[in-house]
Amino acid sequence: EQKQEARQQAQPALEGIVFRGIPGQDQGDQVQQLSLKEGYQALPVRSYGPLFQFSNTQFFSTCDPVDYFIALVELLSDTGTSYRVSSDKLKLKYQTMLGQANKQIDVHVEVLRSTEQTCCVKFGYRDPATQADLYDSDTVCHFLGLR
């Protein structure tokens, strides 16, 4: 309930700015890009800490967390991938098919602040039916392809 209340409180400030899903034709212009950046800057960037150090699918970058996030959103939009942006942190979720068996999985991507100059981009892979974390050669190949 607390999480739902927090989303509802954050939603009015982000309404019309944060985009969920595949963007339409008119969203490629400069004005929309500025709105997206402003909207994503309103989302808190969590700090990288001991909790995240056990992930095998993460990398560090010197780019601004919001700039990386926008680049990822543009990549997903360009490929026609539907995604959902969190309302309380710089994180998104989308589904993709992986491996020779074409199994569908949920991909969670969160951008974390590690230092003033660097950020950590953490990928998580889950089975949509069981919500169990996945880590296999297919998820590693997907991660390396997006890194």
pLDDT in tens, 49-92: 766 666 678 888 898 888 889 899 999 999 999 999 988 889 99
The closest of 138, 113, 114, 112 to 125, measured between CA atoms, is 138
The closest of 3, 1, 32 to 18, measured between CA atoms, is 32
Locate tokens 């169990």: which residue? 132
Give the per-residue pLDDT at 56: 72
Going along the chain from its start, the domains and CATH numbers come out as 2-146 (3.30.310.80)
Three-state DSSP state, 95: strand
Report the run of H or E that residue 4 belongs to, with start and end.
Answer: helix 2-14
Residue 39 has pLDDT above 90, yes or no: no
**How do strand 91-98 and strand 58-61 relate by DSSP bridges?**
unpaired
